Amino acid sequence: MTDDNILSQYRDSIDNIDAALVCMLAERFKVTQAVGEYKASANLPPADPAREERQIARLRQLAKDAKLDPDFTEKFLRFIIDEVIRHHRQISSKES
Amino acid sequence: MTDDNILSQYRDSIDNIDAALVCMLAERFKVTQAVGEYKASANLPPADPAREERQIARLRQLAKDAKLDPDFTEKFLRFIIDEVIRHHRQISSKES
């Protein structure tokens, strides 16, 4: 296999995985959108620190099992949750 | 369905999606680890701005198709690529 082919095959896999990640993220935001609307209608706060702590602990363990860096995984979840809370606040401010 | 049940069902879906995301990320870093080792052995630079531009353009389109915010998706890819480049630099500094 030529050098170009080696890199190209790896990149094909990365592109496939990225497409899967984008689809899973789209699905995740569909659910959190519903959560945001529900929270706004039930007058629940956008953020839930106790739930976040449980999510972080669970994902750190899942990361270890999958041989992914737990610290990076926690940063990743924080990155997603920050965006979710931003959405929840937008929904909440529209409803109030 | 009680209020607690509604939120709990949404959260079960989020937890399932997060487990899938963690597994896909673990798989992605397995591939980029191989890319990093290959790049170091072939004396290729850790970052490849032209490839990154193509990835961003493709993922922004995929995001639109999946009804996910393209700007968020680009930030997400940037977040992942920054970690990958950090890994590549580590591999590269070990080999040189």
Q: How many beta-carbon pairs below 8 A join chains A and B?
A: 117
CATH number of A26's domain = 1.20.59.10
The amino acid that residue B75 corresponds to is: K
Asked if A25's CB is within 8 angstroms of B76's CB, the reply is yes
Q: Which of A21, A23, A26 is nearest to B21 (CA)?
A: A21
Confirm or reject contact between B43 and chain A (CB < 8 A). no
For A33-61, the pLDDT digits (tens) are 999 999 999 999 988 999 999 999 999 99
DSSP three-state, residue A48? coil
Q: Which residues form the domain of A12?
A: 3-95
With an 8 Å Cβ cutoff, is A29 touching chain B?
A: yes
Question: Is-contact A77 B18, C-beta < 8 A?
Answer: yes
Size of chain A, expressed as the number of residues it contains = 96
What is the count of structural domains for chain A? 1
CA nearest to B21 within chain A: A21
Q: pTM of the full predicted structure? A: 0.91
* Alpha carbon B76 to chain centroid, angstroms: 7
> Tell me, what's the ipTM?
0.91
The 10s digit of each residue's pLDDT in B66-91 is: 999 999 999 999 999 999 999 888 88
Using a CB-CB cut-off of 8 Å, the residues of chain A touching B14 are 28, 31-32, 35
- C-alpha B29/C-alpha A66 separation (Å) is 11
